[in-house]
């Protein structure tokens, strides 16, 4: 009985999740009709380049790991604004900045690696 209830709950969560995801998609389609841009940050030699990136609201930033060693891209804010899974060589992580502000981040594997995105 308990199991069937939790499965129902899981199904509900999934439906809800899909709906939310659908809404998110709509949102990004709308902004695409405005002026949506993408920016790149390269991870090379244990550093983010550029370390400081200034972008307009709605920009999608993509980080690419060009190192032989895995890295992550993790917001230092609490709660975290974004958090990538571990990126092996040539793997990418993207995040769309929908609010203005300064978003500091770091590599949680090599914490000396830090960067920030300024959204205007």
Partner 1 sequence: MKSKKSDELLIDHNDDGVDRRGFLKCMAWAGTGALCVMQGGVLKSFSLSRLGELDPSAAKGELHFVQISDSHMGFNKPANTDVGGTLKAAVDKIRALPKAPEFLLHTGDISHLSKPEEFDAVDQILKDTGKEVFFVPGEHDVLNDDGAQFRDRYGKGSQGAGWRSFDKNGVHFIGLVNVMNLKAGGLGTLGAEQLEWLEKDLQSRGKSTPIVVFAHIPLWSVYPEWGWGTEDSAQALAYLKKFGSVTVLNGHIHQTMQKVEGNVTFHTAASTAFPQPQPGKADSPGPMKVPAEQLRRVLGVTDVNYVQGQHALAVVDSSLA
Site string for partner 1, 63-82 (x = CB under 8 A): ----xxxx-x---x------
In this structure, the number of other CB atoms found within 10 A of the CB of residue 28 comes to 13
Check residue 106 for interaction with partner 1 (CB under 8 A): yes
| Separation CA 88–CA 63 (nearest Å) | 12
Piece of 17-25, 48-56, 62-70, 93-101 that binds partner 1 (CB under 8 A)? 62-70
Check residue 93 for interaction with partner 1 (CB under 8 A): no
The gap from C-alpha 58 to its chain's centroid, in whole angstroms, comes to: 13
| Separation CA 105–CA 11 (nearest Å) | 34
Binding site for partner 1 (CB under 8 A): 45-47, 67-70, 72, 76, 85-86, 88-89, 104-106, 108-112, 114
């Amino acid at each position: 009985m308990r199991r069937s209830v939790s499965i129902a709950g899981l199904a509900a969560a999934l439906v809800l999740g899909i709906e939310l995801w659908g809404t998110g998609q709509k949102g990004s389609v709308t902004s695409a009709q405005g002026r949506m841009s993408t920016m790149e940050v390269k991870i090379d030699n244990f550093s983010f380049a550029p370390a400081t990136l200034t972008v307009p609201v709605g920009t999608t930033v993509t980080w690419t790991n060009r190192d032989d060693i895995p890295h992550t891209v993790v917001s230092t804010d609490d709660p975290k604004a974004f958090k990538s899974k571990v990126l092996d060589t040539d793997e990418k992580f993207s995040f769309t900045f929908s609010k203005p502000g300064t978003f500091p981040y770091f590599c949680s594997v090599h914490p000396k690696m830090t960067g920030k995105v300024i959204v205007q």
